[in-house]
């Protein structure tokens, strides 16, 4: 039994002894697969980037079995592995600087947009206030216009009544003049008849005196 355990220990000892921490070399990204390279049945498990830390479990030829920080285990070509963490490349530095500049520009643009948003908010509030004032003014104007229209209608009705009264007054004046004309004519006629009667009466009296 001791021989079996010693033999097993000697078999797995190189694996544990070989395990070491290594880093991904200066490369944008590299794929970690379930098998060596694009062999049949090899599946994509993940990706590593420049400077990522991995644990090398074993090495077979040009491939190493690695364990990622996430716990995923798979095969990776050894050309992507280095013992020391690679310094940031000039290209990566330029890229990072460009990203930092872009981030700064976006922050400034964000500040400008926020300031513009605040200005627009003030303009919107002012416009809403002006709209409410205008709406109130329109309501007052509508009421005033309604009162004016009502006054016009009343004035027109009053004018029609006045015109009717004026016509009736003119008719009454004409009727009154006609009545006075009739009364005057009748008075003249009566006077004439009375005068004729009195003259006839005087003639009769004169004849009576002459007879005596």
Walk me through the domains of the chain, giving residue ranges and CATH numbers: 2-87 (2.30.30.40)
The pLDDT of residue 66: 94
Tens-digit pLDDT profile for residues 99-108: 788 888 898 8
Residue 60: CB partners within 8 Å, gap ≥ 6? 36
Per-residue burial over 101-122, b if 16 or more Cβ lie within 10 Å, else e, is eeeeeeeeeeeeeeeeeeeeee
User: Would you call 114 helix, strand, or coil by DSSP?
Assistant: helix
Residue 63 has pLDDT above 70, yes or no: yes
When pLDDT is cut at 50, 70 and 90, the band that residue 67 belongs to is very high
Residue 151 has pLDDT above 70, yes or no: yes
Tens-digit pLDDT profile for residues 85-96: 766 655 666 776
The pLDDT of residue 202: 77
Residue 162 has pLDDT above 90, yes or no: no
How far is it, in rounded angstroms, from Cα 119 to Cα 129? 15
Residue 16 has pLDDT above 50, yes or no: no
pTM here is 0.34
The pLDDT of residue 15: 42
The pLDDT of residue 166: 82
Quote the tokens at residue 118: 């605040």
How far is it, in rounded angstroms, from Cα 42 to Cα 98? 37
Given strand 29-33, what is the order of strands in its sheet?
Answer: 44-49, 29-33, 73-77, 63-67, 53-60, 20-24, 81-82
Tens-digit pLDDT profile for residues 26-47: 555 788 998 888 776 789 998 8
Pick from 38, 32, 17: which is nearest to 64 by CA? 32
């Amino acid at each position: 039994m001791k021989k079996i355990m010693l033999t097993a220990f000697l078999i797995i000892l190189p694996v544990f002894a070989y395990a070491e921490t290594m880093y991904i070399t200066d490369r944008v990204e590299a794929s970690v697969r379930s098998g060596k390279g694009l062999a049949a049945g090899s599946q994509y498990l993940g990706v590593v980037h420049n400077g990522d830390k991995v644990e090398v479990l074993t090495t077979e030829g040009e491939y190493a079995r690695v364990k990622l920080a996430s716990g995923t285990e798979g095969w990776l070509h050894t050309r992507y592995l280095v013992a020391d963490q690679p310094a940031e490349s000039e290209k990566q530095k330029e890229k990072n600087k460009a990203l930092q500049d872009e981030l700064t520009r976006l922050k400034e643009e964000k500040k400008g947009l926020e300031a513009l948003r605040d200005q627009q908010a003030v303009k919107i509030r002012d416009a809403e206030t002006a709209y409410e004032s205008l709406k109130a003014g329109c309501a007052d104007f509508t009421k005033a216009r309604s009162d004016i229209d009502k006054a016009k209608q009343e004035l027109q009705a009053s004018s029609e009544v006045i015109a009717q009264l004026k016509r009736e007054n003119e008719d009454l004046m004409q009727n009154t003049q006609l009545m006075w004309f009739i009364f005057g004519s009748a008075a003249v006629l009566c006077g004439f008849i009375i005068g004729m009667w009195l003259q006839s009466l005087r003639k009769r009296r004169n004849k009576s005196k002459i007879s005596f």
